[in-house]
């Protein structure tokens, strides 16, 4: 059986920077309030009127990842696209990438696991590569949150959290069992599906029903029970990391770099204390980008790589928790 190496990384974020002070001008909030609760200082939002979208950001990140891997688009055998904000209800955005990058008619699949989407995508790609089915898989996480946020005081609890952006990875076949992805671990708990959700439009409650209900219907805006999400997140993050370490007979002391889903700096800090990790062992960029959901880990990996944070032989641990609930971890020997 082959092993799976992360051969290339890349990311793209819009140029438009939206600071906490900018938000305080359109809703009742403040820089102090946002930073105290989330650690976020600014985020990137696609500008109104721009042609940028989920797939186009993903394509830009993908081109960088493919170049970073030393490959060409024709070397890619399969596409996995993770997002909660696809350009269309259907088809998925994966096929749009195949067209935008002018690739051969390779397969493309979309993953709808929200904040855990990148971890799930890596796990799926890992199985395809280890079994020999594919040699080079393009994994993309991309999110266009700003177009769907309620940017008023009513929606501030979520509007301050989310940013737009995309990250991409190239996972490739390797014959070195000591390097690459050591293991992946995935979980879900659907009883909590409505704790963090966008309920409509859905087949049960389609656009005419939303229009007919007028302003009384806010089901098309994201909803989150923040306290419940936080309480579950700190438990599941820790469990997923423990599971990955135990599966590989490792301990927290073996971790060289922990890259979590960038959900909330307070969650990351809690997990950091739980595993007694130093600041140098944890990579966070939520301060600059906010929560970019399925894109966050890939963006963080790309920046960490640019900064030389992941060195040959380092043990890198990824972990995510999000809507569903879904969560998981990936253990990598870089």
pLDDT in tens, 257-271: 999 999 999 999 999
Distance CA 54, CA 57 (A): 5
Do 247 and 118 share a structural domain? no
Do 199 and 77 share a structural domain? no
Mean local confidence (pLDDT), 302-306? 98
Number of domains comprising the chain: 2
Do 185 and 95 share a structural domain? no
Q: What percent of the chain has a predicted confidence (pLDDT) above 90?
A: 89
pLDDT in tens, 195-226: 989 888 888 877 787 788 777 777 777 888 88
Mean local confidence (pLDDT), 94-119? 97
Distance CA 322, CA 262 (A): 11
Do 322 and 198 share a structural domain? yes
Which of 144, 174, 204 is where one domain is finished?
Answer: 174
Do 240 and 116 share a structural domain? no
Distance CA 83, CA 110 (A): 7
Mean local confidence (pLDDT), 112-125? 97
Do 205 and 149 share a structural domain? no
Do 150 and 109 share a structural domain? yes
- The answer to whether 117 touches 97, Cβ cutoff 8 Å, is no
> How confident is residue 62, by pLDDT bands cut at 50, 70 and 90?
very high
Do 147 and 284 share a structural domain? no
Nearest to 164 by CA among 62, 266, 83, 80: 83
Q: Which pLDDT belongs to residue 325?
A: 96
Choosing from 53, 185, 261, 264, which is the catalytic residue?
A: 261
CATH number of the domain to which 91 belongs: 3.40.47.10
pLDDT in tens, 316-329: 999 999 999 999 99
Choosing from 11, 53, 113, 115, which is the catalytic residue?
A: 115
Do 62 and 79 share a structural domain? yes
Domain range enclosing 28: 3-174
What string of H, E and C letters represents the secondary structure of 115-137? Answer: HHHHHHHHHHHHHHHHCCCCCEE
Do 199 and 92 share a structural domain? no
Least confident of 29-43, 93-107, 178-192, 211-225: 211-225
Which of 121, 141, 174 is where one domain is finished?
Answer: 174
Do 164 and 38 share a structural domain? yes
Do 78 and 9 share a structural domain? yes
Which of 174, 206, 223 is where one domain is finished?
Answer: 174
Q: Which pLDDT belongs to residue 75?
A: 98
More confident residue, 1 or 244: 244
Distance CA 287, CA 76 (A): 33
Active site residue 115: yes
pLDDT in tens, 145-160: 999 999 999 999 999 9
């Amino acid at each position: 059986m082959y092993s799976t190496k992360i051969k290339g990384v890349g990311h793209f974020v819009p140029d438009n920077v939206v600071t906490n002070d900018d938000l305080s001008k359109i809703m009742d909030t403040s820089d102090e309030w946002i930073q105290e609760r989330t650690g976020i200082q600014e985020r990137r939002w696609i500008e109104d009127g721009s042609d940028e979208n989920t797939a186009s950001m993903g394509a830009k990140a993908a081109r960088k990842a493919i170049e970073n891997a030393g490959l060409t688009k024709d070397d890619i055998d399969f596409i996995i696209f993770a997002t909660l904000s696809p350009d269309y209800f259907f088809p998925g955005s994966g096929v749009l990438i195949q067209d935008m990058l002018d690739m051969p008619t390779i397969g493309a699949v979309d993953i709808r696991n929200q904040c855990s989407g990148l971890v799930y995508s890596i796990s799926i790609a890992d199985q395809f590569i280890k079994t020999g089915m594919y040699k080079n898989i393009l994994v993309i996480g991309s999110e266009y949150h700003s177009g769907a946020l309620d940017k008023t005081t009513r929606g501030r609890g979520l509007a301050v959290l989310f940013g737009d952006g995309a990250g991409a990875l190239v996972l490739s076949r390797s014959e070195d069992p000591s390097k690459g992805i050591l293991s992946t671990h995935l979980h879900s708990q659907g009883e909590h599906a409505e704790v963090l959700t966008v309920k409509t439009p859905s087949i049960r409650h389609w656009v005419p029903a939303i229009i007919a209900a007028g302003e009384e219907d806010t089901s098309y805006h994201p909803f989150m029970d923040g306290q419940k999400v936080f309480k579950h997140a700190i438990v599941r993050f820790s469990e997923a990391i423990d599971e990955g370490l135990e599966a590989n007979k490792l301990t927290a002391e073996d971790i060289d770099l922990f890259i979590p889903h960038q959900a909330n700096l307070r969650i990351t800090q809690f997990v950091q204390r739980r595993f007694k990790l130093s600041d140098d062992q944890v990579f966070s960029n939520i301060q600059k980008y906010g929560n970019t959901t399925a894109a966050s880990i890939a963006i963080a990996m790309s920046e960490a790589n640019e900064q030389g944070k992941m060195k040959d032989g380092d043990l890198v641990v990824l972990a995510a928790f999000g809507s569903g609930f879904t969560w998981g971890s990936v253990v990598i020997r870089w």
